[in-house]
Amino acid sequence: MFKKYLALLRQSLAALFEYRANMLIWMLINVMPLVMLAVWFSMSEGGPIAGYTQSDFVSYYLLLALVQQMTTVWVIYELDYEIRHGDLSIKLLHPLNPLHDYLATNLADKILRPFALIPLALLAWMIFPTIHYDIAPLNVILFVVALAGAWFIRFIAQYIFGLLAFWVSDSMTLNDIWYGLSQMLGGMIAPLTLFPSNVTAIANWLPFRFMLSFPVEIASGRLTRADLAMGIAAMLFWVGVGIVVYRWVWRRGIRRFSAFGA
């Protein structure tokens, strides 16, 4: 299996290199966190808001932007297109679940992204020297684990929505709703602790938190041991849910595809 992934990755990387200009632009367009940063930056001018100083907001949103970049997923567009145009049939002739090809394509992008992001991160650090994170080794490891979890949950969620193209012609709308919710409840509009406490209490257990906010929360050092443990557990729970739902949808979807074909 490893050999297959290696081969798929090689191919995806090669294909990505063909689109050098595109790559750069995709990587640089990431407006939302910066917009929100501008809002909270000016709002916290007069003093901290719910425990977040101006510097805290800067730290938060810059890292959020990085996490966003390192977890982007676009597989729904690829899947939707290929299902509709019958291109999926070609993939189904191979003795390999098409999921792996899509995963490898996304992974290849993630391998290349840091090369564009690291210079930007350094630039941001120079502009905002007061940004601070908890960089204790254990924390860094947990951050990376949460980052991987965020990427996976975003991917599998979009993939599942993409598979709905087997049934409905409008799976993208569902995905848009999902995306909207993840912006609100995933920490983009505001750090989750800034919401009313009953909203935060619910949001802490929803998958959206683990798609974006959780890695940043870990890096901020504001989570207690208990918080961390519960967070990781919840994240793993949603990863598990994602896998289970994907398998169920895929099995039914492929049966339906085989009934109607393309």
Partner 1 sequence: MAQIVLDHLCKYYQVHQKEPGLVGSLRSFVRRKYHDVKAVDDLSFAIDAGEIVGFLGPNGAGKTTTLKVLSGLLYPTSGSVSVLGFTPSERRDAYLRQITLVMGQKQQLNWDLPAIETFLVNAAIYEIPDAQYKETLDELTELLELAPLLKKQVRKLSLGERMKCEIAAALLHRPQILFLDEPTIGLDVTMQTKIRQFIAEYNQRHKATVILTSHYMADVTALCQRVIVIDHGKLLYDGDLRALAEKIAPHKLIRIEFSHSLNGHRLEEYGEVIKTRGQRAELLVPRDATPNVAARMLAELPISDVTIEEPPIEQVITRVFEQAARARTERGESDEEAEDE
Chain residues in the site for partner 1 (CB under 8 A): 3-4, 6-8, 10-11, 14-15, 18-19, 86-87, 89-90, 92-96, 255, 258-262
CA distance 34 to 31: 5
CB of 138 to partner 1, least distance (A): 37
Task: Give the 3-state DSSP-derived string for the chain, with helices as H, strands as E and coil as C.
Answer: CHHHHHHHHHHHHHHHHCCHHHHHHHHHCCHHHHHHHHHHHHHCCCCCECCECHHHHHHHHHHHHHHHHHCCCCHHHHHHHHHHCCCHHHHHCCCCCHHHHHHHHHHHHHHHHHHHHHHHHHHHHHHCCCCCCCCCHHHHHHHHHHHHHHHHHHHHHHHHHHHHHHCCCCHHHHHHHHHHHHHHHCCCCCCHHHCCHHHHHHHCCCHHHHHHHHHHHHHHCCCCHHHHHHHHHHHHHHHHHHHHHHHHHHHHHHHHHHHHCC
- Asked whether 41 and 58 are in contact (CB, 8 A), the reply is yes
CA 95 to chain centre: 29
Q: How far is the CB of 101 from partner 1 (least distance, A)?
A: 9
Nearer to partner 1, 26 or 41 (CB): 26
Contact indicator for 149, 236 with CB cutoff of 8 Å: yes
Q: What's the rounded Cα separation, in Å, for the pair 242 and 237? A: 9
If the CB atoms of residues 82 and 217 are measured against partner 1, the closer one turns out to be 82
- In the complex with partner 1, the residue whose CB is nearer, 20 or 225, is 20
Tracing tokens 């050092």 back to the chain, one arrives at 221
User: Smallest distance, Å, CB 73 to partner 1?
Assistant: 21
- Cβ distance to partner 1 smaller for residue 53 or 97: 97
* Least separation in angstroms between CB 19 and partner 1: 8
Cβ closer to partner 1: 129 or 261? Answer: 261
Question: How near is the Cβ of 98 to partner 1 at its closest, in Å?
Answer: 11
Shortest separation between residue 247's beta carbon and partner 1, angstroms:
15
Kindly state the smallest distance separating residue 252's Cβ from partner 1, in Å.
13
Q: Which is nearer to partner 1, 61 or 102 (CB)?
A: 102
Q: Which is nearer to partner 1, 163 or 218 (by Cβ)? A: 163
Here the tokens at position 146 are 């949460």
